[in-house]
Amino acid sequence: MGRLINYFKNIRGQDCPEQGETEQWKTLLINTGVMVEFRGKAIPTVGGIMLFGENPNRYLPQAGISAAAYLGMKKDYEAVERAMIRGAIVARFTMEKDIVDTGLVERAIEFVRRNTGSSAYLVEGRRIDKPDYSEDAIRETIVNAIAHRDYTISGTDIELSIYSNRLEVISPGRLPNTVTIERMKAGCRATRNELIKEVLRDYHYVEATGLGVPRKIIAGMLKHNGTEPDLIEDEYSFTVRLWKGVIH
């Protein structure tokens, strides 16, 4: 309920019912797609549970991110850190847009920050430290995986892996609808989970233009360290691979 009130009041800037006004809340949430009427009863949609649920994994065990950081270039039992990242997708913000309670996106980014480093180089005699990866590219990659994965595939989390030379995010399911890798590079805006995408857009997690992949992931990494990310689709998943590269 705290996240719902935060969303309607602080993010959308609209009036919403008082916390105890159950029927008014049902009407609002049905009209905005967070809930749906089924056999005469109001129940939350999958997107509603994931975005605002207190414990989404109670009902959707696959609604999370399995993260691991490795010392080398391959998976290893001896990981530097492993984490099962769980919780509602969106954070709670103040009116000034300060975070009160982090969501899935922020927790995944914090994992990356803890397990990646930076490179030092000199500019006119001054030492400059630059992160291994563009944070905008990391955020866009994580947000896209959350927004577009196939939630009908159970038992499989989004997989976030950090290696010594790259960062990978594997999203369960093939690309949605008529989307292809070439269309993604051109800024295609098709989506599988419309409610999740629209709410993430309200929070400014994603761009309204649909140009996050070409601008933030591809161009962002090329500008950051001169590497071009790999976008890979196979029969059961879609992978974004960011390369560490060498910063000059």
pLDDT digits 0-9 by tens, 23-55: 999 999 999 999 999 998 999 999 999 999 989
Backbone dihedral angles phi then psi of residue 154, each to the nearest 5 degrees: -90, 160
Phi, psi (rounded to 5 degrees) for 92: -105, 135
Query: Contacts by 38-43 with C-beta closer than 8 Å and gap 24+?
Result: none
pTM for this predicted structure: 0.88
Which distant-in-sequence residues (6+ apart) come within 8 Å of 172 by Cβ?
62, 149, 150, 153, 156, 157, 158, 236, 237
What domains are defined for the chain?
A: 1-44 (no CATH), 61-243 (3.30.565.60)
- The tens digit of pLDDT for each residue in 124-177 reads 566 667 899 999 999 999 999 998 899 889 889 999 999 999 999 999 998 877
Please count the other Cβ atoms lying within 10 Å of the Cβ belonging to residue 248: 7
Distance, C-alpha 60 to centroid of its chain: 16
Task: Work out the average pLDDT over 196-205.
Answer: 91
Phi-psi region of 33 (alpha: psi -120 to 50; beta: other; left: phi over 0): left
The C-alpha atoms of residue 195 and residue 48 are separated, in whole angstroms, by 8
Q: Considering Cα of 84, then 87, then 90, then 94, what sign does the dihedral take?
A: negative
β-pairing, 65-69 vs 158-162, is parallel
SS3 112: helix
Q: Which residues, listed in sequence order, are joined to residue 169 by a DSSP beta bridge? A: 160, 240
